[in-house]
Amino acid sequence: MAFINANNTTRIARIDLKTFETTEIIEIPFAAGNHPSPYGTENTEYVVAGTRFAVPSPNKDVPLSELSKEMKGVISFVKANEPGKMDVAFQVLVPGYDYDLARCGRGPSHGWCFFTSYNTEQATTLLEINASKNDKDYILAVNWKRAEECIAQGKFKEVPATYYHNVYDEKKHMATSNVKKSVKWIIPSECPGVAYYLPTPKSPHGVDVSDDGEYVVGGGKLATVIPIHSFSKMLKAIENKSVEKEVDGIPVLKYDAVLHCEVQKPCLGPLHTEFDGKGYAYTSCFVSSEIIKYDYKACKVVDRAPTYYSVGHLLVMGGDTKKPYGKYAIAMNKITKDRILPTGPELPQSAQLYDISGDKIKLIHEFFTIGEPHYAQGIKADLIKDKVAKIYPLAENEHHYATKAEKDAKVVRKGNEVHIYMTAIRSHFVPDNIEGIRVGDTVYFHVTNLEQDWDIPHGFAIKGAENAEILIMPGQTKTLVWKPKEPGIYPFYCTDFCSALHQEMQGYVRVSPAGSNVPLRAWTANTQVKVE
Ligand code: CUA
């Protein structure tokens, strides 16, 4: 499975890599922008979500001039290891900064997740200046195993909240929504040890944990160095109480007590870091448009390669695992002026594939992508290629409106609702001629794709529908709703190129005026379909 987040509608979705479709969505209550998300823990116990924007929690009407005093942040841990059962296990209530990116620990640091924050100034206007004043912001380290202890000991607050959990049923070909009514809050002062701040220069963006789990690299986008924290030093600093101050019950550890080293003069605008499993880190540098390679234990830059141009995210194959494959890296770049023929005011984004197997980073391919490529992972094809579904078995189709054979196609009127139980197979629909629809009707086309062949979807669209189309995979049933507004003849057609006679895969609906007595009737060629 893969996870994906939405920012302004604060949600995390699970994508089933058997079908490459979204099969589950959970909303994140109290978050105002879901940016440091959805990074996973070592065994996908959790995927995390942090609030990008700090707002009052619970949200309320306050004058913007007083917002700074009311701002809060929430860091959410979403249970994710059981498909169909994603749930916000708990949220940690944190100071109202902007939480930017995250990574969870592995190996020795398994049990912890790290989140960058900026705007520790808590500015609410002209952030480009006002949120860039502090010399250091923070990486927040959350000990989720400690949080689990506090939950088990009842050290949490159950807070009312309304949010949705949607799950797709791949036999019913439909999603159901469950409304959740509360969430557990952990208040750091009531659960000591759950969270610490690591001072980090300056408005950090990425936070990345090395494959051995020991090093936590901050991407200080305005910093002149790359700070690398040491996980074991952090544990010692906690033990020795090397604390400079406390914010809302969260100890701020001393910078020198947690720092492994600063990579000096790395590049301009370091953002994200990946690892190759051989002791090297690769950091993308937005401002100087390059990738740098460095020995992160020795803190020494060993190579650099230009990108075309401003690189944001980058990925190393398997980079987010304990054992990166480390042969290739991809830079995901934002600005491509002069690389390609112009395509209007906006140009496509570019990406570059590098061979990183040798001492020198070598550019081997450039390709274009749609923007903005925002974090990706490369994994071995073997992990999924033999598990991919080729069809949905028709025999297992439990959709309420499924039609499993052409002889079962039918049209059913219920007052102003008309349900068309339709089938699609190369290269025709049953029925493909329908009469007796009236203006004022709501027509439901329940289309079942009878194919049991890989890569043969059929589509369905009808003239004047206010939704675009449906695309029905082999063995699936999907519904398109249509409200004809005027009498007339309306064509419908298959929207996916399915065969040499794809273009012929079309039909007609006759729409008569409201109150007309044209009987409901449907057929394909000489075969009449049932009317109920
Ligand atoms: Cu069916 Cu094109």
Q: Is 156 helix (H, G, I), strand (E, B) or coil?
A: coil
**What is the torsion angle, in degrees rounded to the nearest 10, for the CA atoms of residue 433, residue 439, residue 440 and residue 442?**
20
Position in ligand 1 atom list of the atom nearest CA 458: 1
Q: Give φ, ψ of 241 to 5 degrees.
A: 55, 45
The binding-site residues of ligand 1, defined as CB within 6 angstroms of any ligand atom, are 427, 458, 494, 496-498, 502, 505
Confidence of residue 436 (pLDDT cuts 50, 70, 90): very high
Among candidate residues 287, 294, 292, 337, the one with its CA nearest the CA of residue 312: 287
Helix (H, G, I), strand (E, B) or coil at 361: coil
- Give me the pLDDT at residue 374, please: 80
What per-residue confidence (pLDDT) applies to 320? 82
Is residue 71 within 8 A of residue 54, CB to CB? The reply is yes
Q: Tokens representing 273?
A: 């870091």
CA atoms within 13 A on the CB side of 180: 20
Ligand 1 center to residue 460 CA distance, Å?
A: 8
Please tell me the distance between residue 191's alpha carbon and the centre of ligand 1 in angstroms.
59
Cα distances (Å, whole numbers) of residue 242 to 111, 137, 195, 261, 344: 21, 17, 14, 17, 55
Which of 274, 530, 506 lies closest to 421, judged by CA?
530
Paired strand residues for 305? 291
Q: Which atom of ligand 1 is nearest to the CA of 498?
A: 2
CA distance 423 to 437: 19
Give the pLDDT confidence of 217-266 residue by residue, as tens digits.
999 888 889 999 999 999 999 999 999 999 999 999 999 999 999 999 99
By CB neighbour count within 10 A (0-12 exposed, 13-18 middle, 19+ buried), where does 426 fall? Answer: middle
Alpha carbons 203 and 219: distance in angstroms, whole number: 8
CB 79 within 8 A of CB 60: no
Kindly report the CA angle at 146 between 158 and 190, in degrees rounded to 5? 50
- Give the mean pLDDT of the chain: 95
Give me 120's structure tokens: 């520790």
Helix (H/G/I), strand (E/B), else coil: 493? strand
At residue 365, the pLDDT reads 97
Residue 502 CA to ligand 1 center (angstroms) comes to: 4
What is the distance between the alpha carbons of residues 426 and 499, in angstroms, rounded to a whole number? 7
User: What is the whole-number distance in angstroms between the Cα of residue 499 and the centre of ligand 1?
Assistant: 6
Instruction: Quote the ligand 1 centre to 497 CA distance (angstroms).
Output: 5
pLDDT score of 339 more than 90 = no
Rg (CA), the chain: 28
Calculate how far, in angstroms, residue 461's C-alpha sits from the geometric centre of ligand 1: 11
pLDDT of residue 467: 86
In this predicted structure, what is the pLDDT of residue 336? 86
Q: What is the pLDDT of residues 3-27, one digit of tens each?
A: 999 999 999 999 999 999 999 999 9
**Relative to the CA of 424, which ligand 1 atom is closest?**
1
Q: How far apart are CA 509 and CA 521, in angstroms?
A: 10
pLDDT in tens, 480-523: 999 999 999 999 999 999 999 999 999 999 999 999 999 999 99
Split at pLDDT 50, 70, 90, the class of 319 is confident
Q: What is the signed CA dihedral for 141, 146, 150, 151, rounded to 10 degrees?
A: 90
Measured CA to CA, the distance from residue 463 to residue 475 in angstroms comes to 25
What is the Cα–Cα distance from 172 to 16, expressed in whole angstroms?
A: 16
Report the nearest atom of ligand 1 relative to the CA of 496.
2
Atom of ligand 1 nearest to the CA of 503: 2
CB 349 within 8 A of CB 332: yes
Q: Does residue 272 contact residue 219 with C-beta atoms inside 8 Å?
A: yes
On the CB side of 358, CA atoms within 13 Å amount to 7
The answer, yes or no, to whether residue 55 has pLDDT greater than 90, is: yes
pLDDT tens readout for residues 355-390: 999 999 999 999 988 777 788 889 999 999 999 999
Q: What is the mean pLDDT of residues 148-158?
A: 98
For residue 371, what pLDDT is reported? 74
Q: What is the number of other CB atoms lying within 10 angstroms of the CB of residue 37? A: 30
Closest Cα to atom 1 of ligand 1: 458
Residue 502 CA, closest ligand 1 atom number:
2
Distance 441 CA to ligand 1 centre (A): 27
Q: 56-64 — which CB contacts under 8 Å span 24+ positions?
A: 57/30, 57/93, 58/30, 58/159, 58/161, 59/30, 59/32, 64/124
- H-assigned helices in 343-403: none
Q: What is the pLDDT of residues 175-229, one digit of tens each?
A: 999 999 999 999 999 999 999 999 999 899 999 999 999 999 999 888 889 999 9
- Give the Cα separation of 450 and 428 in Å (integer): 11
